[in-house]
Amino acid sequence: MPTSVFIVQSDLVEHPRKSRWPARLDLLQSGTGLALALFMWGHMFFVASILLGKTTMWSITRMFEGYFFFGGAYPRLVSGVAAGILLLFVLHALLAMRKFPGDYRQYRKMRAHVKAMRHEDSTLWIWQVYTGFALFFLASAHLYQMLAWPQNIGPYASSDRMWSDGLWPFYLVMLLAVEVHGGIGLYRLAMKWNWPKFSRNFLKKLKWALTGFFLLLGLMTLGAYMKIGFEHQARYGERYQPADLPLWLQELAPEGDFPRRNPPAEDAP
């Protein structure tokens, strides 16, 4: 093969202008990661509403289904949000794949470097790769379920899924993976774009505090769903229907669904 052909084919020719695409893709990866992390914070609080009682979780679920705005519940609205998050997730994962080790040899080298250097940020990065890989499967399965059967979300439906359908170990692993991944991801974003302008030490502490907080909230939430699921197993499949709502919510509910009077105090989970 003539030398010139070899050089062109193996991409050894010098490009006169550097491409801007790697920077653009990096920005897109950071942007999708940030959007997903913010979504997860909101998601965690909505799911944790079960800690305030079944009626609270029921009301939040119905709110997302448009029940208090459109005169009836439309679970397909939740499918729409889940589809949007799935798209964002797939894009984020695609962009992240650029940074994964390409083969086993690269992976071994990377691990050896991280071990030898004992560099904390590199160790965090490798954990982000592991948890990100796990989330490929876990989050896709969860999102698909939310997208395909959005009507099966609620105090009893979700708890039955956790307990009687036996999905709590799945949620436990996903919770650990998503909190570790999101925490490290946000820390790395702050380091990379130099915002907010805190010291590395402070950002690291903030990261652990946030991860700890969301893990604790997540574990308490998981426990609450498991407890309700356990107590509800004999009536598996039955859906929760509150007898009453706070007065201001009754007024937003479709006409005739709730008697307009003061309800008793909220029930405990």
Question: Does residue 207 bind ligand HEM (CB under 6 A)?
Answer: no
143 binds ligand HEM (CB under 6 A): yes
Total residues contacting ligand HEM by CB under 6 A comes to 23
| Binding segment toward ligand HEM, per CB under 6 A, in 138-146, 192-200, 244-252, 260-268 | 138-146
Name the minimum Å distance from CB 104 to ligand HEM.
Answer: 27
Q: Give the Cα separation of 230 and 267 in Å (integer).
A: 17
CA distance 57 to 53: 7
Our finding on whether 163 is near ligand HEM (CB under 6 A) is no
Q: Tell me the per-residue interface mask from 77 to 106 with ligand HEM, x by CB under 6 A, - otherwise.
A: -x--xx--x---x-----------------
Shortest Å distance, C-beta 194 to ligand HEM: 27
Q: Binding of ligand HEM at residue 33 (CB under 6 A)?
A: no
- Region from 124-132, 137-145, 200-208, 257-265 binding ligand HEM, contact rule CB under 6 A: 137-145
Q: Counting contacts by CB under 6 A, is residue 47 touching ligand HEM? A: yes
Instruction: Examine residue 62 and tell whether it contacts ligand HEM (CB under 6 A).
Output: no
Sign of CA dihedral 10, 14, 17, 21: positive
Q: Which is nearer to ligand HEM, 187 or 225 (CB)?
A: 225
Tokens of residue 204, six digits: 């690291």
Residue 186 engages ligand HEM in binding (rule: CB under 6 A): no
Residues in contact with 255: Cβ distance below 8 Å, sequence separation at least 6, in sequence order: 71
Binding site for ligand HEM (CB under 6 A): 40, 43, 47, 78, 81-82, 85, 89, 135, 139, 142-143, 146, 153, 158, 161, 171, 174-175, 178, 218, 221-222
